[in-house]
Amino acid sequence: MSCISACSRCSCDGDAPTAAASRSELLARLADSGERIYAVHFPFPRLGKIERRGEEFVWIPEAL
């Protein structure tokens, strides 16, 4: 389980406020839908779900 912050900055963000808003919207949508996702930049096994925990989002890897 890994905590995910939509507000984390990345050096590749051209417009940091817009990038944070986009990440926040995507994480909220994934958490609300309960969709399984394959996230290549996330820890192994890369297949899992995003859950909302208060103000944070948490990566829940799927057991293989």
What predicted TM-score, i.e. pTM, was given to this entire model? 0.75
Q: Long-range contacts: 47-53, Cβ < 8 Å, 24+?
A: 50/4, 52/28, 53/3
Spatial contact of 6 and 23, defined as CB atoms under 8 Å apart: yes
- Sketch the domain layout of the chain as residue ranges: 2-61
pLDDT (0 to 100) of residue 30: 95
The DSSP element (H or E) to which 48 belongs, if any, is: strand 47-53
Q: pLDDT (tens digit, 9 = 90+) per residue, 42-57?
A: 878 899 999 999 888 9
pLDDT (0 to 100) of residue 64: 78
